[in-house]
Amino acid sequence: MVLEFFVWWYTTGWLETLQRIRGRVEAVWRMFSVPILLRTLFSPWRRIVSAPGKGMDQLFRSIVDNTISRLVGFVVRSFVLLAAVFLTLVMAGGGFVIAVLWPALPLLVVFFVLKGTVL
């Protein structure tokens, strides 16, 4: 039974852990809707768009309003994208640490049991 555990740990267990790590990184990417944010980066904020009026002053006001709406949309989406990239890097970094330490964990338990030290 101990041998079966080690076989699982170093083959299927390790692969399943890597798949879970990848799934968590992809979940963060999907949670923030990164492809949609990139596609709509310069879209107006909340689709607030002014229609140009009949005079030049209304046309100018419409241009200014639409530009400000797009600027606000760009800034908000940029911050959300930065948060998504940051959390993706944190999840990937944590996953990398887990993947690297995975082979050593059973050996550390055996080492501490033989040494007589409690984790």
Structure tokens at 75: 């800034």
| pLDDT reported for residue 34 | 93
| pLDDT reported for residue 118 | 60
Element of type H or E holding 79: helix 56-101
| pLDDT reported for residue 51 | 73
Per-residue pLDDT of the chain in tens (119 residues, 90 and over written 9): 888 988 998 999 999 999 999 999 999 999 999 999 999 998 888 776 777 778 888 888 888 888 888 899 999 999 999 999 999 999 999 999 999 999 998 888 888 888 886 65
What does the domain layout of the chain look like in residue ranges? 2-115
| pLDDT reported for residue 87 | 96
Burial class of residue 39, CB neighbours in 10 A (0-12, 13-18, 19+): exposed
